[in-house]
Structure 1
């Protein structure tokens, strides 16, 4: 085990490992992988927009980041939203993917970029009963991809994948409605 931890420590910058104990090495490796993931998302988005002569604001820019979205917008003008289980809902342009492992979850939210949206997203996620551990934000043109790593707090009502996806979807939809009301 110590040999593997030594190899892991040697593969990342020293700034990610403050102490030499096992927990620090593993924690630093997790942080480093998250940073690399965010960098990869940014580079892939730039690569796609650089070579795409089509509409670079299309959500297909980020399509590779969603493996099994619970809620994803179709490309029709009605903006119908496919929901896990075969239902569908009317939606603003948003994609939500949730993975849950024990008391932790990863949330990916793709939506149109709006002013002060990052603050609204973080506050909204916290108000749902999640503790934000890590956030990556990648934006291209008028789209933004939020990747949250969260801890599900005690008393959180959304504990399953579908409950969490539904709650996040409704939160983003509410932001869209509030934004439209402010414009009118």
Structure 2
């Protein structure tokens, strides 16, 4: 086989593999169709999946170390109530790119892990919890009540666990801090009304 044919075959395989990667990655991560953008988007997606995995592993460890018995998988999580005072809030200032600062807050409980981060003029909101029927509607109601507009929603699930990733726009009338937003979304996991 000539060098030209080998190179043509290698390029064809690379393009096929890039197409597979692009089809497996949510479009939100890939800004353009060039090879570098596809690979960069896949890297970001894999990093987010690693975060979800670490979150699930730490939740599993917490549940196994907990002195109280864990709820049965058949019991819906909205029956578990966690007062907002027990939420673990953590404020982080990190440098994103070179000059843009990100401010974030976490509010974790047995019902769900909630993380909100300000990124530029938007907020990235992520929740990891057991699958709860109607929970997405509750979260969107909380966001709309406090004048946030959902720009993008990505839902990923594995077995009985679901990750909701929102990109939301802050409305002019919004008065909540990031910590308060995380706590409000956390409360929605404990409420009984849809």
State the TM-score, normalizing by the size of structure 1. 0.52
1:37-95 deviation line (CA, Å, top 9, x unaligned): 796379769xx7xxxxxxxxx922899xxxxxxxxx9432557642338xxx9954210
> What is the deviation of 1:101?
3.3
> What is the deviation of 1:107?
0.4
Which of 44, 60, 70 aligns to 2:57? It is 60
Give distance in 1, aligned partners of 2:152 and 2:41. 10
Q: Secondary structure at the match of 1:163?
A: helix
Give distance in 2, aligned partners of 1:110 and 1:96. 7
Does structure 1 residue 84 correspond to structure 2 residue 71?
Answer: no
Does structure 1 residue 119 correspond to structure 2 residue 116?
Answer: no
Which of 147, 152, 157 aligns to 2:170? It is 152
Partner of 1:162: 179
Q: Secondary structure at the match of 1:173?
A: coil
CA contact (8 A) 1:41 1:138 kept: no
Q: Secondary structure at the match of 1:82?
A: coil
Give distance in 1, aligned partners of 2:178 and 2:173. 16
Q: Secondary structure at the match of 1:29?
A: coil
Runs ≥4 residues deviating over 6 A: 32-35
Distance 1:132 1:124, change over 3 A: same
Which of 46, 59, 63 aligns to 1:40? It is 46
- Higher Rg: 2
Give distance in 2, aligned partners of 1:92 and 1:122. 21
Structure 2 unmatched ranges of 5 or more: 1-17, 20-29, 69-81, 92-106
